């Protein structure tokens, strides 16, 4: 159970909920136990009255007295109900509050993690930890604790009440109850194991269908519907079989419970009868005891059930703790606020990807003064995207340092650095939201007045107006599918609207036709004024004012300088220029 100790800090936080809950549970149980005593008195009263009148007529019994008994029982029940309501209001509410806090804690922890974390852990796994696992822990925080307190106070009070009547009868009636606990525990464990198998199979079904739906065009174009259909059928069948297994165990639960309770009642009546004959107890006591036995069944059933809930919650909390113990590799150590000018310097930067060990950056050094534009060229896998990621501090460098305005980025305020860098990533991502919100996403103040202006700069304004609902058109999973080039341009508008000091465009015009490319490049010349820019591309941008060109190869700088310098090198850059002019002629 040690994993669950992590939650103790929340019990401290919500101590009043917990303490009041305990008080309410005890009071509710106290009133509950008064009921059978009242019933015993009523029965004994009836019995005595009949004896007194020598069993002549029921009508002889004073109804007034009976009425008083009923009113008392109703009163006790009402009090019991009120406190039961209050106990749920405290303990179940506490469990929901802790659930909320815990979810928030896990999610905040996820968000603080570095990119590498998200590569290492599967999305589905992370999601199930923040959803299902938290829900299982909640079962411990709420129901398990509630019934735990309930059954312990209930058992104490009932045992005292029973003991006062007859210790002997108490012992006999209690004999079957431990068997009840143990068998319920075994059955609950079986139920939980089988439910888990069902959950897993269901998750499998979901992910299979999800993959088929997202790859539906491939599935259809290769005419694979039938195969997938059959595959799905087999998996669904498995799901059915597993559900049947569960149903069989579930069916055992109640008969088992009722059998053991009946056994207890039987013993009460039999032993109780003997004791009445001996004159040790009254008739009413038997009725009182049968009600007590019924009261005890639920606690004894719940013990097994609670034990299995706690086991499950413990396993879930273990998975949650596993995540919470991971501290993000990238930490923001600076909370100052200051302006950024935009000078960028790489000093002997080397970097290996932690998971694969691939050395993606080798001893890279260059300087960009504020406002300078760099064109970054190189074959695929030469390290261009890595350079951008390092500048955004998605990873920390292994050797050397990256400086912005002469200061190591590890000592900068990360929020300011990321705010002042407008990044158009190579793999564009749009949220399932409308276009306007996707563009304004880049802006902290959510001022939509300039959205159209920036869409115009990114040359996507006309495309957007052609969409059914213009800027309010939904895109992504729930909306229209934009073309690769349109997405790139929306992404450009998003990066520019926050008016950052530094712009990084990673192959952002790769899916755009030459004419549109030229329009955007024209705008870029004005938009990039006073901004430091790193333009990663595999095609040369002819109409753009560039201060510096770098060619990367296998993570190393192989050429660096101006157009003239590199052209005269007669190397990679020269060949690229030649090849591109050849393409333009033909």
Residues engaged in binding ligand ADP (CB under 6 A): 119, 353, 355-356, 358, 360, 378, 380-386
Three-class SS of 532-574: EEEEECCCCCCCCCCCEEEEEECCEEEEEECHHHHHHHCCHHH
Interactions with Mg ion, residue window 394-433 (CB under 5 A): 426
Residue 56 interface partner, choices Mg ion, ligand ADP, none, CB cut-off 5-8 Å depending on type: none
Cβ-based nearer residue to ligand ADP, 176 or 383 = 383
Cβ-based nearer residue to ligand ADP, 451 or 504 = 504
Residue 275 interface partner, choices Mg ion, ligand ADP, none, CB cut-off 5-8 Å depending on type: none
Residue 88: CB minimum distance to ligand ADP, A: 49
Residue 45 interface partner, choices Mg ion, ligand ADP, none, CB cut-off 5-8 Å depending on type: none
Segment lying near Mg ion (by CB under 5 A), choices 104-112, 254-262, 376-384, 514-522:
376-384
Query: Is 52 buried (19+), middle (13-18) or exposed (0-12) by CB count in 10 A?
Result: exposed
Cβ-based nearer residue to Mg ion, 155 or 426 = 426
Cβ-based nearer residue to ligand ADP, 117 or 232 = 117
Instruction: Note whether 497 and 440 are within 8 A (CB).
Output: yes
Instruction: Note whether 383 and 300 are within 8 A (CB).
Output: no
Closest CA to 527 of 515, 519, 537: 519
Tokens of 451: 């959205």
C-alpha span between 328 and 315 (Å, rounded) = 24
Residue 411: CB minimum distance to ligand ADP, A: 25
If phi over 0 gives left and psi between -120 and 50 gives alpha, with beta otherwise, what is residue 347? beta
Residue 349: CB minimum distance to ligand ADP, A: 13
Instruction: Note whether 349 and 383 are within 8 A (CB).
Output: no
Instruction: Note whether 537 and 509 are within 8 A (CB).
Output: yes
Residue 239: CB minimum distance to ligand ADP, A: 36
Residue 386 interface partner, choices Mg ion, ligand ADP, none, CB cut-off 5-8 Å depending on type: ligand ADP
- Which DSSP string corresponds to 156-193? HHHHHHHHHH-HHHHHHHHTHHHHHHHHHHHHHHHHHH
Is the Cα torsion angle 303, 306, 312, 315 positive or negative in sign? negative
Cβ-based nearer residue to ligand ADP, 111 or 355 = 355
Residue 573: CB minimum distance to ligand ADP, A: 15
Three-class SS of 451-497: HHHHHHHCCCHHHHHCCCCHHHCEEHHHCECCCHHHHHHHHHHHHHH
**Radius of gyration (C-alpha) of the chain in whole angstroms:** 37
Cβ-based nearer residue to ligand ADP, 380 or 449 = 380
Residue 378 interface partner, choices ligand ADP, Mg ion, none, CB cut-off 5-8 Å depending on type: ligand ADP
Residue 356 interface partner, choices ligand ADP, Mg ion, none, CB cut-off 5-8 Å depending on type: ligand ADP
CA 226 to centroid of chain Cα atoms = 35
Residue 382 interface partner, choices Mg ion, ligand ADP, none, CB cut-off 5-8 Å depending on type: ligand ADP
Residue 364: CB minimum distance to ligand ADP, A: 12
Cβ-based nearer residue to ligand ADP, 21 or 425 = 425
Q: What are phi and psi of 561, to 5 degrees?
A: 155, -160
Cβ-based nearer residue to ligand ADP, 75 or 354 = 354
Instruction: Note whether 298 and 153 are within 8 A (CB).
Output: no
Residue 489: CB minimum distance to ligand ADP, A: 20
Cβ-based nearer residue to ligand ADP, 383 or 500 = 383
Interactions with Mg ion, residue window 262-281 (CB under 5 A): none
Q: Which residues have a Cβ under 8 Å from the Cβ of 127 and sit 6 or more positions away?
A: none
Residue 381 interface partner, choices Mg ion, ligand ADP, none, CB cut-off 5-8 Å depending on type: ligand ADP
C-alpha span between 485 and 478 (Å, rounded) = 19
Residue 234: CB minimum distance to ligand ADP, A: 36
Cβ-based nearer residue to Mg ion, 437 or 510 = 510
Residue 36 interface partner, choices Mg ion, ligand ADP, none, CB cut-off 5-8 Å depending on type: none
b/e map 293-311, b = 16+ CB within 10 Å = bebbbbbbbbbbbbbbbbb
Residue 500 interface partner, choices ligand ADP, Mg ion, none, CB cut-off 5-8 Å depending on type: none
Q: Which residues have a Cβ under 8 Å from the Cβ of 54 and sit 6 or more positions away?
A: none
Residue 381: CB minimum distance to ligand ADP, A: 4
Cβ-based nearer residue to ligand ADP, 355 or 513 = 355
Q: Helix, strand or coil for residue 350?
A: strand
Residue 408: CB minimum distance to ligand ADP, A: 22
Residue 427: CB minimum distance to Mg ion, A: 9
Among 109, 385, 434, 508, binds Mg ion (CB under 5 A): 385
Closest CA to 34 of 69, 76, 66: 76
Query: Is 15 buried (19+), middle (13-18) or exposed (0-12) by CB count in 10 A?
Result: exposed
Residue 157 interface partner, choices Mg ion, ligand ADP, none, CB cut-off 5-8 Å depending on type: none
Residues that bind Mg ion (CB under 5 A): 384-385, 426
């Amino acid at each position: 159970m040690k994993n669950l100790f992590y939650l103790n800090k929340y019990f401290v936080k919500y101590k009043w909920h917990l303490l009041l809950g305990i008080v309410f549970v005890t009071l509710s149980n106290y009133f509950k136990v008064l009921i059978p005593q009242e019933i015993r008195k009523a029965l004994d009263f009836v019995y005595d009255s009949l004896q007194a009148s020598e069993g002549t007529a029921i009508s002889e019994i004073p109804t007034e007295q009976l009425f008083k008994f009923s009113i008392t029982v109703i009163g006790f029940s009402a009090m019991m109900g009120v406190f039961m309501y209050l106990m749920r209001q405290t303990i179940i509410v506490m469990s929901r509050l802790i659930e909320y806090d815990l979810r928030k804690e896990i999610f905040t922890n996820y968000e603080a993690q570095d990119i590498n974390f998200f590569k290492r852990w599967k999305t589905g796994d992370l999601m199930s930890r923040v959803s299902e696992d938290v829900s299982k822990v909640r079962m411990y925080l709420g129901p398990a604790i509630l019934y735990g307190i309930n059954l312990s106070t209930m058992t104490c009070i009932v045992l005292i009440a029973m003991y006062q009547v007859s210790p002997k009868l108490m012992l006999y009636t209690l004999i079957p109850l431990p068997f009840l606990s143990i068998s319920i525990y075994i059955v609950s464990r079986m139920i939980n194991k089988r439910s888990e198998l069902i959950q897993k199979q269901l998750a499998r079904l979901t992910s299979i269908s999800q993959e088929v739906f997202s790859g539906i065009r491939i599935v259809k174009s290769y005419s694979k519907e039938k195969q997938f259909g059959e595959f799905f059928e087999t998996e669904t069948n498995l799901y059915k079989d597993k559900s049947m297994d569960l149903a069989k165990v579930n069916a055992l639960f109640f008969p088992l419970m009722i059998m053991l309770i009946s056994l207890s009642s039987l013993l009460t009546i039999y032993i109780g009868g003997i004791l009445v004959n001996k004159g040790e107890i009254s008739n009413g006591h038997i009725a009182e005891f049968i009600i007590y036995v019924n009261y005890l069944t639920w606690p004894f059933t719940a013990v097994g059930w609670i034990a299995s809930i706690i086991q499950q919650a413990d396993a879930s909390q273990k998975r949650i703790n596993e995540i919470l113990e991971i501290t993000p590799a990238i930490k923001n150590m600076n909370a100052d606020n200051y302006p950024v000018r935009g000078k960028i310097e790489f000093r002997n930067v080397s970097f290996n990807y932690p998971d694969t060990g691939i050395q993606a950056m080798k001893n890279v050094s260059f300087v960009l003064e504020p406002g300078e534009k760099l064109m970054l060229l190189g074959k695929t896998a030469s390290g261009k995207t890595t350079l951008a990621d390092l500048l955004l501090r998605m990873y920390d460098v292994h050797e050397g340092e990256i400086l912005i305005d002469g200061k190591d980025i590890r000592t900068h305020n990360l929020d300011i650095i990321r705010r002042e860098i407008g990044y158009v990533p190579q793999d564009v991502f749009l949220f399932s939201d409308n276009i306007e919100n996707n563009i304004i996403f880049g802006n902290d103040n959510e001022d939509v007045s300039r959205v159209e202006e920036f869409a115009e700069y990114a040359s996507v304004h006309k495309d957007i107006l052609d969409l059914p609902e213009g800027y309010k058109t939904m895109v992504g999973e729930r909306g229209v599918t934009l073309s690769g080039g349109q997405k790139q341009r929306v992404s450009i508008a998003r990066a520019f609207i926050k008016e950052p000091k530094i712009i990084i465009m990673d192959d952002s015009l790769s899916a755009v036709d030459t004419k549109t490319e030229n329009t955007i490049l024209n705008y870029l010349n004005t938009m990039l004024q006073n901004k430091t820019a790193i333009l990663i591309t595999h095609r040369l941008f002819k109409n753009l004012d560039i201060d510096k060109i770098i060619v990367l190869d296998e993570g190393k700088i192989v050429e660096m300088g101006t157009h003239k310098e590199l052209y005269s090198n007669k190397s990679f850059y020269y060949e690229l220029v030649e090849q591109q002019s050849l393409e333009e002629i033909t």
